[in-house]
A and B are shown apart, each in its own frame.
Chain A
Amino acid sequence: MTMKRAITVTVNGKQYHSEVEPRLLLVHYLRDVLDLTGTHVGCNTSQCGACVVQLNGEAVKSCTVLAVQADGCEVTTIEGLAPEGSLHPIQEGFWEKHGLQCGFCTPGMIMASYQLLKNNPNPTEAEIRKGLEGNICRCTGYQNIVRAVQYAAEKMQTSVSEPVSAGD
Chain B
Amino acid sequence: MGIAAMLGTSIKRREDPRLITGQATYVGDIKLHKMLHMAVLRSPYGHARINSINTQPALDHPGVIAVYTAADLKGKVGDVAVAVPIGHIANGMGIRGPLAEGKVRFYGDPVAVVIADDAYTARDAIDLIEVDYEPLPVVVDVEKAMQPDAPLLYEEFGTNIAHSIHPPSDEMDKIFEQTKADGGIIVRARLVNQRLAPVAMETRGVVADYRKANKTLTVWCSSQNPHILRNILSAQVGLPQHQVRVIVPEVGGGFGSKIDIYPEEMIAAFASMQLGRPVKWIEDRSENLAVTVHGRDQIDYVEIAATKDGRVTGMKVHGISDLGAYSQLFTDVIMIAFGFPVSCGAYDIPVHLWGDIVFTNKAPTDAYRGAGRPEATYVVERAMDLVARELGKDPAEIRKINFIKPEQFPYKSSAGAVYDSGNYEPALEKAMQIIGYEQLRAEQAQKRAEGKLMGIGISSYIEICGFGPKGSAPIGLYESARMRVEQSGTVMVYTGSSPHGQGEETTFAQIVADEFTIPIENVLIIHGDTDSTPEGRGTYGSRTTAVGGSAVFNASQKLKEKMKQIAAHMLEASPSDVTLEDGNFSVAGSPQKAVAFAEVAAVANTSNTLAPGIEPGLETTVFFEPDACVFPFGSHICAVEVDKDTGEAKLLRFVAVDDCGRQLNPMLVQGQVHGGIAQGVGQAMWEEVVYGEDGQLLTATLMDYAMPIAKELPDYELDHTVTLTPVNPLGVKGVGEAGTIGSTPAVAAAVADALGVPHVDMPFRAEKLWKIIHQA
User: CB within 8 Å of B: which residues of A?
Assistant: 1, 21, 23-24, 31-32, 35-45, 47-48, 50, 77-79, 81-82, 87, 91, 94-96, 98, 100-107, 110, 125-126, 128-130, 132-133, 135-146
Asked if B157 is at the interface (CB within 8 A of a chain A CB), the reply is: no
Interface of B is mostly: loop
Q: Which of B103-133 contact A (CB under 8 A)?
A: 120
The smallest C-beta distance from A113 to any residue of chain B, in angstroms, reads 11
The smallest C-beta distance from A91 to any residue of chain B, in angstroms, reads 4
Q: Is the CB of B25 within 8 A of A87?
A: no
Q: Is the CB of B19 within 8 A of A98?
A: no
Give the complex CA separation of A96 and B284 in angstroms.
32
Give the complex CA separation of A119 and B23 in angstroms.
27
Asked if B644 is at the interface (CB within 8 A of a chain A CB), the reply is: no
Which residues of B have CB within 8 Å of A139?
Answer: 201, 253, 501, 671, 675
Q: How large is the interface on B (under 10, 10 to 19, 20 to 34, 35 or more residues)?
A: 35 or more
Give the complex CA separation of A47 and B16 in angstroms.
25
Q: Which of the residues A23, A40, A94, A140 comes within 8 Å of B20, measured between beta carbons? A: A94
User: Could you list 13 further interchain pairs (A-B, Cβ under 8 angstroms) beyond the known A1-B62, A138-B678, A141-B713?
Assistant: A21-B120, A40-B28, A44-B701, A79-B22, A95-B17, A95-B20, A98-B12, A101-B671, A104-B201, A138-B253, A143-B713, A143-B716, A144-B671
The smallest C-beta distance from A59 to any residue of chain B, in angstroms, reads 15
Q: Is the CB of B13 within 8 A of A95?
A: yes
Give the complex CA separation of A129 and B709 in angstroms.
8
Give the complex CA separation of A145 and B716 in angstroms.
13
Indicate whether A36 sits within 8 Å of B255 (C-beta atoms), given known contacts A41-B28, A95-B13, A136-B702.
no
Give the complex CA separation of A44 and B501 in angstroms.
23
Which residues of A have CB within 8 Å of B201?
Answer: 40, 42, 48, 50, 102, 104-105, 136-139
The smallest C-beta distance from B295 to any residue of chain A, in angstroms, reads 13
With both beta carbons as reference points, the residue of chain B lying nearest to A146 in the complex is identified as B710
Q: Is the CB of A91 within 8 A of B20?
A: yes
Indicate whether A39 sits within 8 Å of B22 (C-beta atoms), given known contacts A1-B62, A102-B500.
yes
Which residues of A have CB within 8 Å of B149?
Answer: none
Asked if B689 is at the interface (CB within 8 A of a chain A CB), the reply is: no
Give the complex CA separation of A40 and B22 in angstroms.
9
Q: Which of B5-26 contact A (CB under 8 A)?
A: 12-13, 15-26
User: CB within 8 Å of A: which residues of B?
Assistant: 12-13, 15-26, 28-29, 31, 62, 120, 199-203, 250-253, 255, 284-286, 500-503, 667-668, 670-671, 674-679, 701-703, 707-711, 713, 715-716, 739
Q: Which of the residues A24, A101, A129 comes within 8 Å of B675, measured between beta carbons? A: A101
Q: Which of the residues B23, B199, B678, B710 comes within 8 Å of A38, measured between beta carbons? A: B23
The smallest C-beta distance from B761 to any residue of chain A, in angstroms, reads 24
The smallest C-beta distance from B466 to any residue of chain A, in angstroms, reads 20
Residue among A43, A128, A135 with the highest chain B CB neighbour number at 10 A: A43
Q: Is the CB of A142 within 8 A of B678?
A: yes
Q: Is the CB of A95 within 8 A of B710?
A: no
Which residues of B have CB within 8 Å of A138?
Answer: 199-201, 253, 255, 675, 678-679, 707
The smallest C-beta distance from A23 to any residue of chain B, in angstroms, reads 8
With both beta carbons as reference points, the residue of chain A lying nearest to B503 in the complex is identified as A101
Give the complex CA separation of A51 and B508 in angstroms.
32
Q: Is the CB of A98 within 8 A of B671?
A: yes
Q: Is the CB of A129 within 8 A of B250?
A: no
The smallest C-beta distance from A78 to any residue of chain B, in angstroms, reads 4
Q: Is the CB of B711 within 8 A of A45?
A: no
Which residues of A have CB within 8 Å of B674?
Answer: 140-144
Q: Is the CB of A103 within 8 A of B702?
A: no
Q: Is the CB of A101 within 8 A of B501?
A: yes
Which residues of B have CB within 8 Å of A144?
Answer: 671, 674
Q: Is the CB of A141 within 8 A of B716?
A: yes
Give the complex CA separation of A106 and B501 in angstroms.
12
